[in-house]
Structure 1
Amino acid sequence: MLPPLKTVRQGLRLATEALACELARPGGPTPAWDEAQWRLASAAAAIHGVAPLMAKCQAWQGPHWSAFTASQREHVEARHQRIADLLSQIDQQARTAGIATVPLKGSALHAMGLYQAGDRPMADIDLLVPEGDLDAMTALLQGLGYVLSFSVWKHRVLKPADGERQFCLGEHRDTPVSIELHSRIQERLPVVTVDITERVFPGAAHPGLNAYPSNGALMSHLLLHAAGNICNRSMRLLHMHDIALLAARMSANDWDEVWGADRRGAWWAFPALAMVARYYRHAIPRAVLRRLPARGRPLLRLASRRRTLTEASCTGLWHHTLHGIEWLGSFGELRAYLENRIRPPAEALQEQQDMMRTQLWLREHSWVDLPRGRRFLRVLTGPVPRMDTLYAVRAAFEEFGDTVTPAPQPVVAANGPSTSRYSVSNARAV
């Protein structure tokens, strides 16, 4: 049995803000949490992809916590080796086929040495290829034992012909490695499409694997990816950590590339940078934030200065029907946004069906199968928990065995609520 949803919501928020605080500024005391709260912390760490990093810094000693984070690090390290071997095969085959490709995000950050094996989970491999090579690369990957699972507007998803994801908390070494194949680097925020493909793909690419052309190009991609996740309330602490680590290597010319990534001044980069700057206090130069306001979007600018990681992520437990509305910059965008909510285009409905077919956390269809009108009424009449979040919470409570009863008193750090870095009341000030 899970704790009451109100307790789950509060516990996930507490754990999320505590993890963000500890990862950004290590060395705090172990929180004085009960066992239920530690399980919720494990769920939050899995959702945010930071359990291996917490094992590396060995910051906290809680019930099951050290064993869980150490195990996650072992699983991630084993998966990293599998991914590295697969990338080597893709490199060799792409060279032979004359196809240039760019491994994106996590693969690039590892190649730069920002992470060591076992530090950073990678659920899949993201590859960028020119539009004209998309079918050829798909055929190449099929020759390596992959099958096309589904296609959405952003990418094609290929999965190994055999292998099935297992119900578990966090990462598992045997989870099949999917490949997301991109021909464009773009995000819908939520109705305006921002495309930075020309900045990300190298001008003098050679057959095989290529690096991003610059740190500025990689940072532009990380920020645009984070913008899409914030808009959809799926931001992860790992995304913030990526940006903070790369920011330490950014020169003034690199930041100039970020500013030049969009003719309107890369307005979409401000929300992620503002959030990173709030948690990682010295990671983002103030001059960068001053130069990247969310122009023409006052609600987005205001929200970005106050939004917590919990509010932008899956650990914010409740569904929000109108999530992303603060990103709109005109009445025309608002009209398109509402039309898409009331009458989703066929592409969106197909994407939902593909997700239901392929995502393990959607195997319980009680919410997703409801007609849109009933779902809308459910959200209006009371809070509805997110299925992806509850999947992780259930896994955390099943992972460690016996049912626990959460303590009724407020959960604070060992030195009390007045000085706690981790109390819920202090979360917004992090």
Structure 2
Amino acid sequence: MSLSSLPGEAQLLLLAAGGPSTDPAILRLLDGALDWNRLCHLAELEQAAPVLVERLRCLQPALDPGTGLRRMAQVMTFNQQLLRQRLYRTLDALDGAGMDVVLLKGAGLAHSAYARFTDRPMADIDLLVAPECVAPAREVLLASGWIHNRDRRPEDVYRQHHHLPPLDDAAGAPISVELHTDICLPGHPFRLPPEAVRRRARRIQVEERTVLVPDAHHQLLHACIHFAWGHQMTRGAWRTFRDLAAIAGTGQVDWDRFITLARESRGTTCCFWTLYLARAVAAIEVPAPVLQALRPSMTELLLRTLERHFTLGLLPTAASCPSVRLRNMMWRLGLQPERSGHGDALPWSGSRRNFHRAAPQGGRLASAVQRLARHASHAVHSPRYLLNLR
């Protein structure tokens, strides 16, 4: 099993994305030697601390997860409650201005797929708005306790982005809000127009207000595309796998309809690999016929090799692929962008490449030396990595 090749801390975190069926494996890991500082670091990257600590304490009530993980969970829980308050104040302000916004990703899932808001950790709020409403919506946010830190988030960096520069909490809390006009960066190959997401959004009653969240099939598709294409399956695995289970657990997913949507949107391979890895790594329940319908054309040997490669890259550990070039090649083998109708669109090209600011003039020589050293290291370690995938 590919998961066993990961360090114990990474195994535990990924297993914790699953349901009760992963409890025995988690308990076995808890009985062994764990580096709690490393687990704390991985949990921080995935914003998993509150949910992880609660899960571990349910399994072993006397367990001490360590000061770092425990404090992180407390701080994140406090920030989550604060984010919820700021979200509702923001929605009330936008509603008062006559603007409809759709809650994307975490904010939408927290209200439609999870039992409690705090069950879905997040550090920012993603709001989908109509293009003509972006400017007035931004003004409403700026008048509602959000600020734009231009030094930290310069406008020119976001000029070709799918959302405006994030706005930060004026009181200094570590939370932000983003106004989106699309689900992915410009130039993405997917047929999931934002107007369709807005048109089919559901209205959900929350306390004394109504919020808009995407249709469950759009939520599932967005999660798969965001993970497999946006993050190339190297970030957000714990959150994504939990989200898939939560969405499917609502009973609102018609799998035949989802398969059709995945095909029509050119997201078939993104959906396959996200669902396949969620099932293989975290025992998330995905019907076998769904995976069979989404599976790209490849041999069983290639499928298993790619599964192992993608699993090793789910979290940043020493087991991950040592070369960016090799990782991109393996991604293309698995996602098959040409066969999927993606044309020349790739997640590491186009506007994404321009998203990072250029290095200062004085730092270019040092940067070039570092790149040369990395390439030399990759030349040594990449063949060994490929051999270990067999």
TM-score bracket, normalised by the shorter chain, equals: 0.7 to 0.9
SS in structure 2 opposite 1:181? strand
Using the alignment, how far apart are the partners of 2:64 and 2:229 within structure 1?
A: 34
**Does the 8 Å CA contact 1:200/1:213 hold for their aligned counterparts?**
yes
Note if 1:202 corresponds to 2:199: yes
Note if 1:32 corresponds to 2:32: yes
1:351 pairs, out of 350, 355, 358, with 355
Once the two structures are superposed, residues 258-280 of structure 1 have per-residue CA deviations (whole angstroms, 9 ceiling, x without a partner) of 53244246332111011001023
| Alpha-carbon distance, 1:381 to partner | 0.7
- Greater helix share, 1 or 2? 2
* Closer, same or farther: CA 49–304 of 1 in aligned 2, 3 Å: farther
* Closer, same or farther: CA 370–300 of 1 in aligned 2, 3 Å: farther
Aligned residue runs from structure 1 range 297-308, under 5 A: 304-308=306-310
Note if 1:133 corresponds to 2:141: no
Using the alignment, how far apart are the partners of 1:308 and 1:203 within structure 2?
A: 33
Where does the alignment leave 5 or more consecutive residues of structure 2 unmatched? 204-208, 380-388
* Comparing 324-333 and 69-78, the one that deviates more: 324-333
**Does the 8 Å CA contact 1:102/1:128 hold for their aligned counterparts?**
yes
Note if 1:294 corresponds to 2:292: no
SS in structure 1 opposite 2:7? helix
Question: In the alignment, what sits opposite 1:108?
Answer: 108
Question: In the alignment, what sits opposite 1:142?
Answer: 142
Using the alignment, how far apart are the partners of 2:198 and 2:36 within structure 1?
A: 43
Aligned-partner residue type, residue 376 of structure 2:
T
Using the alignment, how far apart are the partners of 2:195 and 2:32 within structure 1?
A: 50
Question: In the alignment, what sits opposite 2:282?
Answer: 280
1:313 pairs, out of 303, 311, 315, with 315
| Alpha-carbon distance, 1:128 to partner | 0.6
**Does the 8 Å CA contact 2:126/2:178 hold for their aligned counterparts?**
yes
| Alpha-carbon distance, 1:290 to partner | 1.0
Using the alignment, how far apart are the partners of 1:227 and 1:129 within structure 2?
A: 24
**Does the 8 Å CA contact 2:103/2:212 hold for their aligned counterparts?**
yes
Aligned residue runs from structure 1 range 395-414, under 5 A: none
Once the two structures are superposed, residues 308-351 of structure 1 have per-residue CA deviations (whole angstroms, 9 ceiling, x without a partner) of 5441333466653223333353499999589x98xx76x55642
| Alpha-carbon distance, 1:303 to partner | 5.4
| TM-score in terms of structure 2 length | 0.73
Question: In the alignment, what sits opposite 2:225?
Answer: 224
2:164 pairs, out of 130, 135, 156, with 156
* Closer, same or farther: CA 198–378 of 1 in aligned 2, 3 Å: farther
* Closer, same or farther: CA 32–284 of 1 in aligned 2, 3 Å: same
- Tell me the number of residue pairs that the alignment of Structure 1 and Structure 2 aligns: 348
* Comparing 51-60 and 123-132, the one that deviates more: 51-60
Using the alignment, how far apart are the partners of 2:184 and 2:343 within structure 1?
A: 22
| Alpha-carbon distance, 1:50 to partner | 2.1
Where does the alignment leave 5 or more consecutive residues of structure 1 unmatched? 1-9, 165-173, 358-364, 385-427
Question: In the alignment, what sits opposite 1:171?
Answer: none
Between 1 and 2, higher relative CO (CA 8 Å, sep ≥ 6) is seen in: 1
Aligned-partner residue type, residue 321 of structure 1:
V
Aligned-partner residue type, residue 202 of structure 1:
R
Note if 1:119 corresponds to 2:108: no
* Closer, same or farther: CA 133–19 of 1 in aligned 2, 3 Å: same
Question: In the alignment, what sits opposite 1:418?
Answer: none
2:40 pairs, out of 20, 42, 56, with 42
Question: In the alignment, what sits opposite 2:178?
Answer: 180
